[in-house]
Structure 1
Amino acid sequence: MSLHISESVIWNETADGVSLYHTETGDFRTLNATAAQIWVLLADGGDPASVGSRLALLFAGGNAAIAARIRTEVQTFVSSMLTQGLLEEQPS
């Protein structure tokens, strides 16, 4: 399975992060810098595992526990976005 941004979502990078608008529900949100970075990496075709690994390389400083926490947080973010209909899964 691969992820893609729902066709019902309009998004834009801003100085404060990423702004998302779900056209079907009317929900509007702004992602903070960390969530925005995850969103942009996913939008560029990254899968959750590779995004988590990339961020772990950037921010864990070689600490395995922190790297694992980053990967878990990326999965949690992706699950939340799927539940809210902002991201969708599709067959590879």
Structure 2
Amino acid sequence: MPLTISDAVIWQETGEGISLYHTETGDFHTLNDTGSKIWMLVASDGERDPIVAKLSDEFARNNAAIGRLIHLDVMEFLGSMIERGLIEEHLP
């Protein structure tokens, strides 16, 4: 299912990562390097599988165990962002 950044989120890249402000809840978040990479991939790709594939190519380097860990971590991060209303998942 396609992913998009919520229209209620204002975000920008900073020296510490990506800063997020949810205009409906008033919540602020700052993403670390890994979260920022995932966020940027959501902004550009909007699909779970390509996000996992790009991060696995960059970090796992054909190591299946690390690839599985990346998959789990990305799914957990995306689930958390969806739950908080920062990222939206749409039916195709």
| Smaller-chain TM-score bracket | over 0.9
Unaligned runs of 5+ in 1: none
Runs of 4+ in 1 over 4 A off after TM superposition: none
Name the CA distance, whole Å, in 2 between partners of 1:5 and 1:28.
Answer: 15
Q: CA RMSD in A?
A: 0.9
Name the CA distance, whole Å, in 2 between partners of 1:67 and 1:89.
Answer: 23
Which amino acid in the other structure matches residue 33 of structure 1? D
CA contact (8 A) 2:45 2:51 kept: no
Aligned residue pairs, count: 92
TM-score of the aligned structures, taking structure 1 as reference length: 0.94
TM-score of the aligned structures, taking structure 2 as reference length: 0.94
Unaligned runs of 5+ in 2: none
Match in the other structure for 1:76: 76
CA contact (8 A) 2:21 2:29 kept: yes
State, as a whole percentage, how many aligned pairs show the same letter. Answer: 49
> Shift of residue 15 of structure 1?
1.6
